[in-house]
Amino acid sequence: MVADEEYTVTGRNENRHELKLGVSYEGWKKRYPRRKEIFYGGEFDSEKFWGQTTMQTLEDQELNEDTRFLLNGYGASWI
């Protein structure tokens, strides 16, 4: 899984919103092909993002006792 955040500005008063984003996929190659990419995201606090993302990953991906789960991020404190 790869996780990152983006910031958006909405309205004239320039309220800033943090969107947490993640993508899970099967396979581990330097680049493509990746299989079964699934995207997650929204304006959540960290705990809610990871709770929902973890549950969705467990439902969508074929995980078993031999599965290695890797998390890549870009240094944000919530990752």
Q: Tell me, what's the pLDDT at 70?
A: 80
In degrees rounded to 5, what are phi and psi of residue 10?
A: -125, 145
Give 26's strand partners.
Answer: 35
Q: Tell me, what's the pLDDT at 30?
A: 67
Q: What residue spans of 9-72 are helical by DSSP H? A: 46-60
CA angle 43, 54, 38 (to 5 degrees): 75
Mean pLDDT per 10-residue segment, the chain (79 residues): 82 78 78 74 88 86 81 82
> What is the rounded end-to-end Cα distance, in angstroms, of the chain?
11
| CA nearest neighbour of 39 among 58, 53, 23 | 23
